[in-house]
């Protein structure tokens, strides 16, 4: 087993046509590249406690997804679509000059990882999905309703022309984040707020674009998701939390997706914890991820 790293994190910036995508990096420049994608409304701080416990041979880059953390927001009138996030991953890969890499994604970041690996299977070595299935299944009866809701929210926002962000004290901002993510520990709250808040006169505003709260308009049925899953060529590890998506009721809804992974000899594991277990209790997740990266990435690329 590779030893974990103990070194400083570096800030990272990739220019894009509307601004920049920001993030952080760990590990040697020549290390095996691993791109880390956080969940909805989080930021790259989501991986601050997990990455130092992972193999030191890898080069980890954690993005602030567009509209989150320190990254630029999308232009007015441009929606936040899953497909656009996938294009952003491609932009970051080109900016880093990565032609093949692994992806670790939590929640929405895992859905981005799944779609990217479907569209660009030749670029992905291995995939780690943290409390997510890689595809967000929508029942066919709900497709139109969900898409319309997201579109109506976007159009209503556009008509407002401007929106004043609510100003919080740090403690009130912490309460607001905890209300939306009740499982977050005190330590986790502070690490997400480091990149999740922007200081302004009178206090702080949340740095994320308010439009990321809108209903996603990219929607796929189970049949679509199963067909996309077949396109993945990379090895896959799914780590579910028993109080997150690992609950029996949530696994039942995704049973065919999970079976699809198992049928192709991918690994599905369940650990104690909630949806943010990788952030709250990284020592529970790290051994599984470390072993997977060692077997599926590092050992396969070492000189004979």
Burial class of 61 by CB neighbour count within 10 A (0 to 12, 13 to 18, 19+):
buried
Write down the residue that tokens 């890969």 correspond to: 93
Q: Is the dihedral of CA 264, 270, 276, 281 positive or negative?
A: negative
Distant-in-sequence, close-in-space partners of 219: CB < 8 Å, separation ≥ 6? 136, 138, 142, 143, 146, 147
Catalytic pick among 107, 117, 188, 207: 107
Q: Is the dihedral of CA 170, 23, 40, 38 positive or negative?
A: negative
Separation of alpha carbons 10 and 248, rounded Å: 40
Separation of alpha carbons 126 and 131, rounded Å: 16
**Among this protein's residues, is 107 annotated catalytic?**
yes
Burial class of 294 by CB neighbour count within 10 A (0 to 12, 13 to 18, 19+):
middle
Tally of CB atoms within 10 A around 91? 16
Query: Catalytic site residues?
Result: 107
């Amino acid at each position: 087993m590779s030893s974990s790293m103990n070194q400083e994190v570096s800030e990272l910036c990739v220019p894009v046509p509307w601004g920049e995508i920001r993030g952080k990096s760990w590990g040697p420049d020549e290390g095996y590249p691993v791109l880390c994608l956080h969940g909805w409304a989080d930021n790259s701080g989501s991986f601050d406690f997990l990455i130092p416990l992972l193999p030191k041979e890898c080069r980890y880059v954690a993005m602030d997804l567009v509209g989150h953390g320190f990254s630029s927001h999308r232009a007015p009138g441009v929606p936040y679509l899953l497909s656009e996030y996938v294009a952003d991953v491609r932009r970051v890969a080109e900016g880093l000059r990565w032609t093949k890499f692994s992806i670790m994604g939590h929640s929405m970041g895992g859905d981005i990882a799944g779609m990217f690996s479907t569209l660009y299977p030749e670029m992905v070595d291995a995939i780690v999905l943290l409390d997510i299935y890689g595809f967000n299944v929508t029942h066919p009866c709900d497709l139109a309703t969900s898409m319309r809701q997201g579109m109506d929210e976007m159009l209503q926002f556009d008509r407002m022309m401007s929106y004043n962000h609510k100003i919080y004290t740090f403690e009130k901002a912490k309460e607001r984040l905890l209300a939306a993510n009740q499982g977050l520990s005190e330590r986790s709250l502070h690490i997400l707020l480091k990149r999740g808040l922007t200081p302004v006169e009178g206090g702080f505003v949340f740095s994320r674009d308010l439009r990321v709260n809108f209903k996603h308009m990219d929607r796929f049925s189970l049949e679509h998701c199963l067909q996309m899953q077949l396109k993945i060529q990379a090895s896959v590890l799914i780590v579910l939390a028993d109080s997150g998506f690992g609950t029996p009721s949530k696994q039942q809804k995704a049973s065919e997706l999970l079976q699809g992974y198992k049928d192709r000899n991918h690994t599905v594991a369940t650990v104690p914890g909630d949806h943010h277990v990788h952030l709250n209790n990284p020592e529970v997740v790290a051994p599984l991820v470390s072993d997977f990266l060692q077997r599926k990435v590092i050992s396969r690329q070492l000189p004979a």
